Amino acid sequence: MEHVNRFIIQCGVAANRDELRVRLFSSSLSGSAFTWFISLPPNSVIIWANLEKQFHKYFFSGVNEKKITDLVRLRQCNDESVESFVQRLRDVKNKCYSLVLDDW
């Protein structure tokens, strides 16, 4: 909810137009949130209320949320590059919504 509210504030007067909110929302996303957004079928969301609902459903329903134990259990596979492992680690960390960790 915080991300959406921050996005609307940053949009200023553009936030008054539904189609602009939908169009600009992707520019406020990064990491797993951006990956989620680009995985949506083309033209599947044209109304802001639907986009906001889908965003909250995916990220705040708890269904896709990971726990600190998921991070602790991660191990690099034998044939996995360091870069790939670090990306996988970050992806899991980004799904720990209630956990606040920086990349360090």
Q: What is the pLDDT of residue 17?
A: 85
Per residue in 29-39, pLDDT (tens digit) is 887 788 888 88
Q: What is the pLDDT of residue 45?
A: 84
Site of tokens 């602790």: 72
Identify the three-state secondary structure at position 104.
Answer: coil
Site of tokens 């137009």: 17
Question: In the numeric block, which tokens belong to residue 63?
Answer: 């269904």
Identify the three-state secondary structure at position 74.
Answer: coil
Q: What is the pLDDT of residue 44?
A: 84
Chain CA centroid to CA 30, Å: 7
Per residue in 2-56, pLDDT (tens digit) is 788 888 888 888 778 888 888 888 888 887 788 888 888 888 888 888 888 888 8
Q: What is the pLDDT of residue 98?
A: 63
Could you state, in order of their start, the residue ranges of all structural domains in the chain? 2-60, 65-104
Q: What is the pLDDT of residue 23?
A: 86
